[in-house]
Amino acid sequence: MDDDVVRQAPLFAALDDEAAGALRATMTRVDLMRSEILFNEGEPGDRLYVIVDGKVKLGRTSADGRENLLAVLGPGEMFGELSLFDPGPRNATATAIADTMLIGLGNDDLVSWLSGRPGVARQLLGALARRLRRTNESLADLVFSDVPGRVARALLDLSERFGRPTDDGLRVAHDLTQEELAQLVGASRETVNKALADFVARDWLRLEARAVVLLDIERMRKRAR
Ligand code: CMP
């Protein structure tokens, strides 16, 4: 397991090596294959998860069956904490979009870790605040930006987590199908495909299977504004 990645997670950030090791020992490992569902929206939840390796999408389904993706998370990120801090059903469905390894912490263990450790609680509050900020930005994007702008923003956001520099650009292996990318930006697949094709024609990016290579990040940033 990649310890450095786990130590970046907000849950571990305020702990010294010894405490981090002890916390780690109380957590259970879960392995998921691509497309496997960890939990469904509406189920009771009593466990939060930290991603060690792989990727997880968090999505919601409307009454008429349409899907919307709230986020795509990668190594070092945490999810599943809402139903612990505010007891209630799971707010979204969590599905692996690549082979994924997680470690999970149950409610009772979390409560005992938080008591007497204000540093850990502060880190978790910081993570929740960052998520609220990002959610507000996505909401404003949905209202104020056109689809190409939202696609550009989503790809840049994914590049911060999954981008790897290559000779000709930043390769972002997002592992999303075009349908899932459309669900992430809240638009139809056709409109998202058109936006992507336009970016390709302008030489701003190159499409690969479940990945893009960003060739002109400055132009993409301007388009995302
Ligand atoms: P929980 O409700 O227990 O299960 C679903 C999880 O999805 C939730 O906890 C959060 O951890 C996560 N989640 C919900 N909404 C968002 C969002 N807007 N951005 C990122 N993660 C989210």
- What ranges do the domains of the chain cover? 3-142, 146-224
Q: Is 200 in the pocket of ligand 1 (CB under 6 A)?
A: no
Q: Model's pTM, two decimal places? A: 0.93
State in Å: Cα 91 to ligand 1 middle: 6
Which amino acid, 187?
A
Tell me whether domains 3-142 and 146-224 share a fold. no
Q: Is the CB of 135 under 6 A from ligand 1?
A: yes
**In the prediction, which pLDDT does 117 show?**
87
What stretch of H or E contains 105?
Answer: strand 100-106
| Predicted pLDDT of residue 223 | 93
CA distance 145 to 6: 35
Question: Residue 86: beta bridge partners?
Answer: none
Which CATH architecture best describes the domain 3-142?
A: Sandwich (2.60)
- Parallel, antiparallel, or unpaired for β 56-61 and 93-96? antiparallel
Mutate to test the pocket of ligand 1, among 40, 82, 141 (most ligand atoms within 8 A of CB): 82
Distance 27 CA to ligand 1 centre (A): 20
Task: Give the pLDDT of residue 1.
Answer: 63
Torsions phi, psi for 217 (to 5 deg): -70, -35
Cβ of residue 80 lying under 6 Å from some atom of ligand 1 = yes
146-224: which CATH topology?
Arc Repressor Mutant, subunit A (1.10.10)
218 C-alpha to ligand 1 centroid (Å)? 31
Say yes or no: CB of residue 81 within 6 Å of ligand 1.
yes
Maximum Cα–Cα distance across the chain: 57
Q: Whose CA is nearest to atom 12 of ligand 1?
A: 79
Atom of ligand 1 nearest to the CA of 48: 3
The alpha-carbon radius of gyration of the chain (Å, integer) is 18
What is the rounded average pLDDT for all residues in the chain?
A: 92
Percentage of residues of the chain with pLDDT beyond 70: 99
Nearest CA to ligand 1 atom 17: 70
Q: What is the pLDDT of residue 22?
A: 87
Strand partners, 95: 37, 57
Q: Residue 181, by phi and psi: left (phi above 0), alpha (psi -120 to 50) or beta?
A: alpha
8 Å CB contact between 8 and 76: yes
Q: Which residues of the chain have pLDDT under 50?
A: none
Q: Which pLDDT does position 12 carry in this prediction?
A: 87
